[in-house]
Structures are given as C-alpha cells and as structure tokens.
Structure 1
Amino acid sequence: MESINEALERLLNERTKFVEEKVKPLSEIAATRSFTPEEETTSDECKTRLNAMDSTISLLRDEISMQSKMPQTTSRAQDNGISEQLRSLLVERNSTKQTIDLKTDLARAFKRALTTDPSQTGAGSELVPTTFAQSLITPLRQMSGLLQAGAQPLSTSTGEEILWPRVKSYGEAEKNIKPGATIGGTDMSFDQVSSKTSKYGQIVMTPRELIEDSAIDIEGFVGQAIGQNVGLGIDSDALDALLPGDGKDNAITLTVTGGAITPTFDEIIDLESSVIAPYRVGAAFLVSPGAVKALRKIKDTTGRYLWQSSLQAGWPAVLDGYPVIEDPFLPNPGAGQATILFGSFNRVIMRVVNSLALERSDQFAFDKDSIAWRGILRAGVILTDSNALAAFVGKTA
C-alpha cells in the first residue's frame, strides 16, 4: 500500500508535469492574445485541477507534519520537551504549574488548529484500548490568515495598556525661500495609539486513565490544542477589532463601498488605490471564504480572469498581482459587511503577554477522578498606521 510520503511525492511529480504540459502553454498564449472560447474552457479546467491537486497536497503535508510530532513508541523514557513536562505535571504530580513558551510558535498557533470532541461520548475512553494504533485521527479545521498575511507577533512581559508614539504628520518644508528671508515650514506632529489586552482561555477535562494508559502522546496533544484554540480566539477578536466601525480604536478607516455585496474589477482597483503607494509594496488581500468565489469570477476589460492560481504548491493565489489569503473570521458577503481587506498587514501588531500558562488541577473534578487542564493567555491587537489597510464593504440595503 502506498505510504503518505510516496503519495505526496507522486502528486508533486504529477503537478509539475501538468504545469509543464498544460498550464505553461496557456500562460504563453495569454501573454500575447486573448483566449478563444475553447482555450477559456481549458484554462478553467486547468485552474480547477490545480486547486484540487493543491488541496490534496496541503492535506498530505499536514498529515505528515502531524505524524512527525507523534511518538513512535509507547516507551515513556523517550518523551521529551512539552510532552515530558506535561506528563510530569499530569501523572507524577511534582509540579503545580507549567509555562509553555509560545513566542517562537505563535504564528503556527494562529495558522493551524486541531480539535477534540469535548462531549461525554468522545471524552477519551476511545483512546485507552488494550491494543491501539500509535496515531490520532484529527479533523482539519479552517485556518486563520491574519499572521500569514503579514501581521507581526510581539511578546511583552506585562499586560497593562501601552501608549505607542506615532508620527501623525512630517510637516512641510517651505519652498522658494528668498535670500535673507526667514525660513518657514510647518512642524512635525505626533499622536498616540493605545494597546490593551484581553484574557483568553480554555479548560479541558482528561480522565486520569486516559493519561496513564494511552498509547499516544495525549498530554502533548492537549497542550497543543489548547494553545491553538486560544490563538484562534485571539485572531477572531483581532479581526473584529480591525473591521470598520465607530468607537473602535484600531478599526480600519479607509473603505470602499461597493455597488453590490461583492466587488467589481473597478472596485478592486479602487480598493487598491485607496492605500497609498508605499503600503502597496508587499501588500495582500485578506478575504472571507464566502468572498473567494466572487473574486475568482472577476474579469478584466478583455474578459480574462484576474484570479491566478499558484503554480507552486503551498503558495497563495494571486489577484491583480497581489496574494490572496483566506480567513474564516471575516464575514461572508452581505449588506454593509467588510469582506475583503487590502494593504500592508505588517502594520498590524498581535501583542501577547508572556506565554501561554498551562495549569492542572486534581481537585476541580475530584469526584470523577479527572484532571482539569487550563490554558490562559492575554493578548491584543494594534493597527499602528490607519493608512496601511483598506476594506471593501458591501452595498447597504
């Protein structure tokens, strides 16, 4: 039976061959003239095939990455890192608190997520058999895209409000100064942007038998899942803070209101142009899942699709020359909904306070002989320059 690594290698080879034989000839034609109806149909079929192959490649890579983190033996002596720390905390009971550093892994915590069934039926008894495969089936979840678009993670040691100085105006030099005349010009001006944090957390109940008897690294999985779930909660609130709206300190103020709930090609150009030129360098689109379908159908004045599927697996598609990144926490198209953001996301700071604190309690569910595992993290978002991002808003009713 073909292994996952073999399947990935085969699919990558098939994709490379497909691009060479089918996609490149179409790209050469598109560079010189418009497609014929037959070529247009072939182009659509190629895009559909590439998207399907890329989706499968991404799933296989995620599975390989996940399996590489699973222990290959049930021997407790080979546990290390977070797994060893958590096992010590949960089973040997020689500590009451453990801190896991997320500074270097914060982006991954926002971009990937695993899940476990919190209901009583799937609370863990299925994971404690007499004979058990040493891997855990984890459903894939939609990934957030704010950090992938370029937002910068920042760790601070305390969580109090921070006022960030910001240049509001560079002033202006006087022109055509006459000999002996007083030099004029206008002064620079400054203001401040405030950074506040909120608390995020999750409690997971684990039967003691699950920790003691499981053939897989349950404690490592629980710690990772809590960290990722907390990260996704932070990303959701960060996007809510950035979306246009009155009374929000970090809300985007540059907006383009469409003639419908989805944009036209002209409105995409208006959205790009609303961001000043320096912030269009390295810019990206951040798009809701519901808006992706509409964007893929947008054509230029010659009838060619603006959406370009990536020719390299793992890279985002491109719209009018800019990468497109999907984020599930943006609203779907609707009246008054900001479904597309554009600009330089490196002016967005995702602030976290220290690291994710993981703690355990034997007393919380003493009557059930279960261990309560709690993760807590404080975080917030800052838009350091309101000129860096713009939003497309669907036409209001």
Structure 2
Amino acid sequence: MTDHTEIPQSLETKSGGNVGAAFEEFMRAFETYKDANDDRLSELERRSASDPLIDDKLARLDRALDETKRVADTLAVKAQRPHLGGAGAIETAAVREHRRAFNDYVRKGETANLSRLEAKALAVSTNSGADGGYLVPDETERAVISALKDISPIRAIASVRQVSGSVYKKPFAITGPVTGWVAETASRTQTATPTLDELSFPTMELYAMPAATATLLDDSAVNIDEWIAEEVRDTFAQQEGTAFVSGNGSAKPKGFLDYTKVANGSWAWENIGYITTGVDGLFPASNPADKLIDLIYTVKAGYRGNGTFVFNRGTQAAIRKMKDGDGHYVWQPAASAGEPSLLMGYPVVESEDMPAMAEDSYSVAFGDFRRGYLIVDRVGIRVLRDPFSSKPYVLFYTTKRVGGGVQDFNAIKLLKFEA
C-alpha cells in the first residue's frame, strides 16, 4: 500500500486541476489514515500506550487528509463558478451602462456617469455619498456573495436574508399559538395569544482595501469587476467567519458562542444549551463517541433532521480516530468533491474559528443552523477609489454591511470540555 504520510507539495498540480483526480487522492489518503489509526489502536490494546512513531505518522496523515480535501473542494467550486461578464451572461442596457461607468471610475477615477446613474436610481441617499463610494454592478455583488457562501463556513449553513435598511427586526413566537381539536358543529373558542419576542439584527460595516498598480488598471484585458471580487472575498469571508462564531455584537455580528451558555437541563430562551464531556479538555477515554450521540439528542427531533456538526481542524482530528461499538469509524469522508464529510450521518463543517479542545472550552456545536442562526446582508457593496493615500498604488476601500445572530435558541447546542 502506498504511504501518503507526507503532506503533498502541490496537489492541485498533481491532479492536473481535475476534480475527480483530486478527490481520488483524498480517498486514498483516508484509507491510509484508517490503516495507521488501526495500528495505533492495536498498540493501545497490546501495550496500553501508543507508539510515538505511529502517533507522528497519524498526525502527518491527518494534515495530508485535510489538504487533499481542501484541494478537491476548491477545484469543485472553481469548476462551478461562472466568470463575470462571460459567455451566456444576460445584461440589460442599464446594467451595461452601469458596468461601463463603474469601469471608468475604477480605472480612471471618472465619477460623472456613476453619480448620474445613482442619482437617477434614487440610491445616492442610502448607498453612496461623498465618503461612501459607489455601488458595484449587481453581477459583481452576486459574485462576491456567492463566493462568500463557498468559503465562509457558517454562511454556508445559516439562513441569509437581504435587507435595504440598517436593522432587520424579526418577531418570533416563543411558545407558539394554542391549538386544539374541535367537533365539526361545536363552537370554536378563541385561541390564546402566542408569546412573541422581537429579535433585532443590526448590520455592521465590513471593509477590505485591495491595492492596484497603474499597470493593472491600464490593462484592458483585466476584468476589473472580477479582480475586485477576487480581492475582497477572502478578506470578507475570514472576518465574517470569526464574527458569526464569536463576535461580541459591538461593531460586528454577534456570534453564537457569545450568547449566555447554560447546562441543557436548565435551558431557557435567549441561552445556548450545552452538555459536558465529563473530562477537562478531552473526550472521555472510554466510548468517546457516546458524547457526540448525547449531543445530537439534546436537539429536539424537529431540528435534528437538518443538523450539522461544527468544529475546528484539531477537534476533527480527534474525532476521526473514534469508532462505534461495531468497530466502524464514526467520521466518514464526503461522497464526492464539494460535499461535506459526515459524522454519524450528519454533515461536518470545519471552522477554524471554533475554539480548540481545552479545559472548559465549547469546541463542538451541533444543530440546525439554518433555523438557528440568521445572517443579514444589506443590499449593495460600495467601492471608494483612493489614489492619494498610498502612491503610486491606488487603494479601493470596499465595504459591505452585514449582521448576524441567533434567531432560534432551540436549534443549536454545544459540547463543553469539562469534568
């Protein structure tokens, strides 16, 4: 059997950019990983201690497994992502005019046409201004948002709503309306009024500031819309990802880990419930996977069907080694490139913003994030051209407004690593 213990240096080159080849490499890496872990478990049974050489090999395999999965997923996303303004794009005359005006603004700093178009659309008062820049074309905004969904872990599984205002308010029924059965001819009693809570999701400004050379701006072969989208999406995704997990709600979204956390037996609305591993900073040595089963069943049945596990790479490495009572690995690789791996039949989302396993850490989350967490995007991404602050480069102060927070406190539960 081939030994894939070394982290591949250029997996994308090795696969020739082919999604299928990259995914096959990932599956081979997983088979090798299982063999190495089986050796580790045999050593534990035989000597009550693992071999350091096997542990080191397993750690390297674990990194290789993550890298091969990342490459396969990246290639799958690239294969599906359309180019801005490419063949098949349908544009109205107004869209083409906005694109030309935006192109002139970015390349040459000409503002007259953009100002006229935005004034005509009555958008100046809310989306642009002396210090606010100008709206990017709609197709560029869609490309950025679509890319964010591909690379921002929580955005990919949460609910997303677009708004035109600065705050989104949502009434939510905590208790639900009172209902009942009644005979066909019997009188109907009035149902009780449900208990409502109003959740508020303000949008906060997120910015990125890519820089361009004069040569790039003068190059007519460069698709300037696509360049801006590619430059800002990774920065936006990184900042969003952190905020959606642990943001404190001050000038940024409120992450689901920032809410008050209580033992699940004492759970109440506006809190996030948790259970414990029973060991400080670790899973229990005996039947560790049972704690994951317990976590799954802290979530009500109506939410479990769309449940997703969220944890970071280090926690995933620990979970990959676990087997169930029948000797089967509880973590299973994705069925195809671009699809999530599975843990006990539920999708896994890897977020490096989740805390590492440590004493009293909340390192594993599970639940229906589509119902549990809401992301609010204010319509419009703006660009302000700055040719003065960093000569000879031209800076593009690019902003979008985004908010987020828990919208259903029933839907998300946590695993706390404490005794």
Counterpart residue identity of residue 243, structure 1? L
Secondary structure of residue in 2 paired with 1:239: helix
Once the two structures are TM-superposed, the CA of residue 163 in structure 1 deviates from its matched residue by: 3.0
- After superposition, the Cα gap between the structure-2 partners of 1:106 and 1:251, relative to the gap in structure 1 and judged at 3 Å, is farther
Residue number among 123, 146, 158 corresponding to 2:154 in the alignment: 146
Residue number among 18, 22, 30 corresponding to 1:8 in the alignment: 18
Counterpart residue identity of residue 203, structure 1? M
- After superposition, the Cα gap between the structure-2 partners of 1:301 and 1:390, relative to the gap in structure 1 and judged at 3 Å, is same
Aligned counterparts of 1:164 and 1:342: Cα–Cα separation in 2: 24
Q: State the aligned residue count.
A: 330
User: 2:355·2:361 contact (CA, 8 Å) conserved in 1?
Assistant: yes
Aligned counterparts of 2:20 and 2:176: Cα–Cα separation in 1: 56
Secondary structure of residue in 1 paired with 2:238: helix
The answer on 1:341 being equivalent to 2:365 is yes
- After superposition, the Cα gap between the structure-2 partners of 1:103 and 1:252, relative to the gap in structure 1 and judged at 3 Å, is farther
Residue 256 (structure 2) aligns with: 242
Give the TM-score taking structure 1 as reference length. 0.68
Aligned counterparts of 2:235 and 2:65: Cα–Cα separation in 1: 31
Give the TM-score taking structure 2 as reference length. 0.65
Residue 382 (structure 1) aligns with: 405
Residue 373 (structure 1) aligns with: 396
Aligned counterparts of 2:244 and 2:304: Cα–Cα separation in 1: 22
- After superposition, the Cα gap between the structure-2 partners of 1:56 and 1:110, relative to the gap in structure 1 and judged at 3 Å, is closer
Aligned counterparts of 1:376 and 1:215: Cα–Cα separation in 2: 25
The answer on 1:395 being equivalent to 2:401 is no
User: 2:73·2:338 contact (CA, 8 Å) conserved in 1?
Assistant: yes
Once the two structures are TM-superposed, the CA of residue 52 in structure 1 deviates from its matched residue by: 7.0
Residue number among 360, 363, 368 corresponding to 2:388 in the alignment: 363
Gap runs ≥5 in structure 1: 27-36, 38-43, 72-79, 113-142
Aligned counterparts of 1:184 and 1:86: Cα–Cα separation in 2: 58
Secondary structure of residue in 1 paired with 2:389: coil
The answer on 1:94 being equivalent to 2:113 is no
User: 1:256·1:393 contact (CA, 8 Å) conserved in 2?
Assistant: yes
Secondary structure of residue in 1 paired with 2:152: coil
The answer on 1:206 being equivalent to 2:212 is yes
Counterpart residue identity of residue 341, structure 1? A
Residue 169 (structure 2) aligns with: 163
Secondary structure of residue in 1 paired with 2:353: coil
Secondary structure of residue in 2 paired with 1:166: strand
Q: Deviations over 1:47-86 (max 9, x none)?
A: 9898776454335445667896799xxxxxxxx8998665
Counterpart residue identity of residue 8, structure 1? N
RMSD of the alignment, in Å? 4.4
Residue 281 (structure 1) aligns with: 305
- After superposition, the Cα gap between the structure-2 partners of 1:3 and 1:371, relative to the gap in structure 1 and judged at 3 Å, is closer
After superposition, where does 1:264-303 map in structure 2 within 5 Å?
A: 264-303=288-327
Counterpart residue identity of residue 383, structure 1? V
Residue 191 (structure 1) aligns with: 197
Identity %: 19
Once the two structures are TM-superposed, the CA of residue 198 in structure 1 deviates from its matched residue by: 1.8
- After superposition, the Cα gap between the structure-2 partners of 1:107 and 1:258, relative to the gap in structure 1 and judged at 3 Å, is farther
Residue 222 (structure 1) aligns with: 228
Counterpart residue identity of residue 93, structure 1? G
User: 2:19·2:75 contact (CA, 8 Å) conserved in 1?
Assistant: no
User: 1:4·1:60 contact (CA, 8 Å) conserved in 2?
Assistant: no
User: 1:344·1:389 contact (CA, 8 Å) conserved in 2?
Assistant: yes
User: 1:252·1:391 contact (CA, 8 Å) conserved in 2?
Assistant: no
- After superposition, the Cα gap between the structure-2 partners of 1:82 and 1:290, relative to the gap in structure 1 and judged at 3 Å, is farther
User: 1:205·1:372 contact (CA, 8 Å) conserved in 2?
Assistant: yes
Once the two structures are TM-superposed, the CA of residue 293 in structure 1 deviates from its matched residue by: 0.5
Gap runs ≥5 in structure 2: 1-11, 35-41, 43-57, 87-95, 115-132, 247-254, 262-268
- After superposition, the Cα gap between the structure-2 partners of 1:166 and 1:305, relative to the gap in structure 1 and judged at 3 Å, is same
Residue 130 (structure 1) aligns with: none
- After superposition, the Cα gap between the structure-2 partners of 1:387 and 1:3, relative to the gap in structure 1 and judged at 3 Å, is closer
User: 1:168·1:191 contact (CA, 8 Å) conserved in 2?
Assistant: yes
- After superposition, the Cα gap between the structure-2 partners of 1:17 and 1:339, relative to the gap in structure 1 and judged at 3 Å, is closer
- After superposition, the Cα gap between the structure-2 partners of 1:285 and 1:9, relative to the gap in structure 1 and judged at 3 Å, is closer
Once the two structures are TM-superposed, the CA of residue 218 in structure 1 deviates from its matched residue by: 6.2
Q: Deviations over 1:112-143 (max 9, x none)?
A: 5xxxxxxxxxxxxxxxxxxxxxxxxxxxxxx4
